Amino acid sequence: MATTIRPLDDRIVIKEIEAEEKTSGGIVLPDTAREKPQRGRVVAVGPGKLLDNGNRAEIGLKEGDEVLFGKYAGTEIKLNGEEIKILRESDVLAKVIS
């Protein structure tokens, strides 16, 4: 049975996109030399932060968006054998437009 996840408030769920295995010069990097991924795809979005007036702030991201985030932002968890990251919308640095 597959488990689905729905983040609360202004949190989003990200599936990280793996870092490059080769440098621009063609050198293959071992696992220990690779940097932590800072790019990912949004797989779930919460309803938005609850404001003082009772309304919810709209989140500027949607499922499928590709985003950049800080190296150590969010919380990493394993769900259904996949590693995902849960972070707040404010931890997202940019949305990748291609």
Q: What fold, for 11-18+34-96?
A: 10 Kd Chaperonin, Protein Cpn10; Chain O (2.30.33)
Mean pLDDT of 60-88: 90
Task: Sketch the domain layout of the chain as residue ranges.
Answer: 11-18+34-96
Q: How far apart are CA 3 and CA 35, in angstroms?
A: 29
Beta bridge partners of 44: 13
Indicate yes or no: pTM above 0.85: no
pLDDT in tens, 7-45: 998 999 999 887 666 666 666 666 565 566 688 999 999
Q: Which residues are bridge partners to 69 per DSSP? A: 92
